[in-house]
Structure 1
Amino acid sequence: MAPEASKPAIPIPERIRIRRAVRGRAFAIRFRPGPAAIAAASLVCLLIGLLYLVLQIRTIFSDQLKQEYTGLVLEAVERAEGARSLAGLWAQLPDATAGRATGYLHARTELTHRLTSLAALVNASPSAAPHLPASSLAPDADLRGTDALLNDVSTYWRAQRDIDSADVRVRIAHVARTLIASAALLFCMLITALGMYAKRNLQLAGQSHEFEHAALHDAMTGLPNRRKLFATLDEATTRSPAVAASCKFAVLYVDLDGFKQVNDSLGHRVGDEFLIAVSKRFRESVRKGDVVARIGGDEFAVLVREFSTNAELGEIARRLIACVVQTDQEMGVGLVRASIGIASFPDSVDDYHRLVAAADEAMYRVKRSGKNSYAFADPAN
């Protein structure tokens, strides 16, 4: 016995690459984000954005309070500088001037009061700021030292005000960008939700259509079933009375003679193939507006929507019988023929609900009289 040819070995690097590709594909399928995951992630991002927005707004309010406090300090500096200027003027007057000593004393007292108020504001600042030394508050403090002190305090707090103003502007810009990003995120969430909703509706509509089609059609042959046939009959009779009165329609009930022997001798697979093939020929042999339905097993029905004479119906029946013979010969079965019963409305049957039953009864008359033919329903039905 010749040895079996071995399969070519796959190189190790190629195996590793294939395994990684398979794992990556499995990971992507497993962790593919769904609508719930996208909604949850968007909601988390939105909450983070709102939290950041709240913190920024809180900081903006805090910076505004700092600016207001800085304004109070700078106003106190201006008042102290005014008192210092007044004390300087009194100090420049000659000693012989009347009231010079009294005026200078009042000016120094006012300066001390202003410096004390300024020190209270500066030393009570909520932010870290240089405190005013106690020596500068003495009534006899050197005016030049007071000038330097007021200049330092004014310079520091003006710089602090500029810093707070710049910080407020930056944070306002952050708030504006956060609001824009949040609005964009909400818009994207809305569009995504609408898209998912529309996609879901399309899927449901497609599934509903599939379910409806499955409920009204035979799974094996694809032909309409009994339920669809009767629904089509109802549609044909619910048209406007003027149109319905001028139209005639008929049902041809087809039963395959000898089909049971095909299943018994050749198997159900051959029987199913026969039914599929003959169903296709039935559809091709009738007009586009006519309906071919599988009633069940080896029984079919053809709804002819409009016809002129019984001869036209007889011609259709002969074509259906020929379809069965051709299928039988093509598959080499040699057993199957067809018996057909024909009932028309309103000629032979005045109640369309009785059409299928009347055609069924006519078909059984054909079976009893030799099969492989057709017959019309008795007008008494």
Structure 2
Amino acid sequence: MSRFRRAPAMLASASLLCLLVGLLYLALQIRTIFSDQLKQEYAGLVLEAAERAESARAMVGVWQLHSGDSQAQTQGYLHARIELADRLNSLAALVNASPSAAPRVPASALTPDASLTGTDALLATIPPYWRAQRDADGADVRLRIAHVANVLIALAALLFGMLLTALGMYAKRNRQLAGESHEFEYAALHDPMTGLPNRRKLFATLDEAAANLQAGPTDRNIAVLYVDLDGFKQVNDTLGHRVGDEFLIAVSHAFRESVRNVDVVARIGGDEFAVLVREYSTAYELAEIAQRLIACVVETDEQMGVGVVRASIGIASYPDLVSDYQRLVAAADDAMYRVKRGGKNGYAFAVQAD
């Protein structure tokens, strides 16, 4: 009889062990799923950077056809080469910082006078590789989700036989997984170094702000200020990346403190930031914000004793200057490059579309 009395306890212990093994497997699978999703996001960022580089290369080709016709067209070609080099540097920063063993971008391809043939070859190889990486990670996510579903079915049958004990354990584990999910979601939407929202979070917030704007009074406006740090590359080259990272963290905090709580300060990537102003009345308010942001950079530069970093800012607003809010960031980016071409260390508004 004692053997039969011990049987339920042994069965319960075996069931509990199976449950623990199943939950551990689920946790590992879910963690891996989120990891693969982050890899997909990273591959998407690389592909976006590659697309911008391809657009810059196409512009170089357009200017190249007429580069000798006039001095202005020759200058346009040179500016197009510089912009191509900037885009390639942004692409290389992402590719070379990849945690996976991805093919690196050689430094010889990143100068303004680099061979266009080599650039074309580079741009022909990077997108297919990263698309394949993204597709492979996506296939792995789908496979793991199927495994998770199968394990959940088995665990549900097991839970039916040990309801009271398993419900408490499952509830506790579910809370842990929810916490992990929140952490991964936060990491996917924020810059890990500065803690600011990233590009993905900025565009999501922009969609929300535009929806609120369209549902409210017609005299309201939203705006985006695109900030690029002039001379920041020299900080990394001369003082090291540690000092460069400290500068970015400090200026990020200064940016955040210089605007309202309802406004969003995001790090787009590298030394580029964006500020989403949810509501304003006049262009003068935007100009004041731009001046404060420039002052933040100057003060941070002086406090750290760098002496070379300033800011170029482009401003685009919806709906008065830009009719489509989804083009706000691109329009502000274009205005910022006009500032750079005009001497840097200043701000400019986007040109109103006809």
> Alpha-carbon deviation of 1:43?
7.2
The residue aligned with 1:205 is 178
Contact kept? 1:237, 1:244, Cα under 8 Å:
no
Instruction: Determine the C-alpha separation between the residues in 2 that align with 1:282 and 1:38.
Output: 61
Amino acid at match of 1:288: N
Instruction: Determine the C-alpha separation between the residues in 2 that align with 1:270 and 1:240.
Output: 40
> Alpha-carbon deviation of 1:240?
7.4
The residue aligned with 1:324 is 297
The residue aligned with 1:366 is 339
> Alpha-carbon deviation of 1:38?
10
The residue aligned with 2:56 is none
The residue aligned with 1:159 is none
Alignment of 1:1-381 (within 5 A): 39-40=12-13, 190-239=163-212, 241-243=214-216, 245-380=218-353
Cα distance change on mapping 1:332 and 1:195 into 2, 3 Å? same
Instruction: Determine the C-alpha separation between the residues in 1 that align with 2:350 and 2:14.
Output: 70
Cα distance change on mapping 1:342 and 1:220 into 2, 3 Å? same
Cα distance change on mapping 1:357 and 1:195 into 2, 3 Å? same
Contact kept? 1:282, 1:323, Cα under 8 Å:
yes
Contact kept? 1:236, 1:244, Cα under 8 Å:
no
Cα distance change on mapping 1:42 and 1:231 into 2, 3 Å? closer
TM-score (norm 2): 0.54
Amino acid at match of 1:328: D
RMSD: 2.4
Instruction: Determine the C-alpha separation between the residues in 2 that align with 1:356 and 1:231.
Output: 12
The residue aligned with 2:78 is none
Amino acid at match of 2:332: A
Amino acid at match of 2:286: L
> Alpha-carbon deviation of 1:344?
0.2
Instruction: Determine the C-alpha separation between the residues in 2 that align with 1:348 and 1:42.
Output: 65
Q: Which secondary structure state, in structure 1, belongs to the residue aligned with residue 265 of structure 2? A: strand
Amino acid at match of 1:262: V
Cα distance change on mapping 1:350 and 1:236 into 2, 3 Å? same
Instruction: Determine the C-alpha separation between the residues in 2 that align with 1:366 and 1:42.
Output: 68
Instruction: Determine the C-alpha separation between the residues in 2 that align with 1:240 and 1:227.
Output: 20
Amino acid at match of 1:276: I
Cα distance change on mapping 1:217 and 1:42 into 2, 3 Å? closer
Amino acid at match of 1:314: A
> Alpha-carbon deviation of 1:245?
3.4
TM-score (norm 1): 0.51
> Alpha-carbon deviation of 1:203?
1.1
Q: Which secondary structure state, in structure 2, belongs to the residue aligned with residue 223 of structure 1? A: coil
Q: Which secondary structure state, in structure 2, belongs to the residue aligned with residue 245 of structure 1? A: coil
Greater Rg over alpha carbons, structure: 1
> Alpha-carbon deviation of 1:197?
1.2
Amino acid at match of 1:271: G
Contact kept? 1:251, 1:355, Cα under 8 Å:
yes
> Alpha-carbon deviation of 1:368?
1.1
Instruction: Determine the C-alpha separation between the residues in 1 that align with 2:237 and 2:339.
Output: 24
Instruction: Determine the C-alpha separation between the residues in 1 that align with 2:331 and 2:16.
Output: 66
Cα distance change on mapping 1:310 and 1:241 into 2, 3 Å? closer
Contact kept? 2:255, 2:265, Cα under 8 Å:
yes
Aligned length: 204
Q: Which secondary structure state, in structure 2, belongs to the residue aligned with residue 339 of structure 1? A: strand
> Alpha-carbon deviation of 1:201?
1.3
The residue aligned with 1:13 is none
> Alpha-carbon deviation of 1:298?
0.2
Amino acid at match of 2:314: G
Cα distance change on mapping 1:194 and 1:307 into 2, 3 Å? same
> Alpha-carbon deviation of 1:309?
0.3
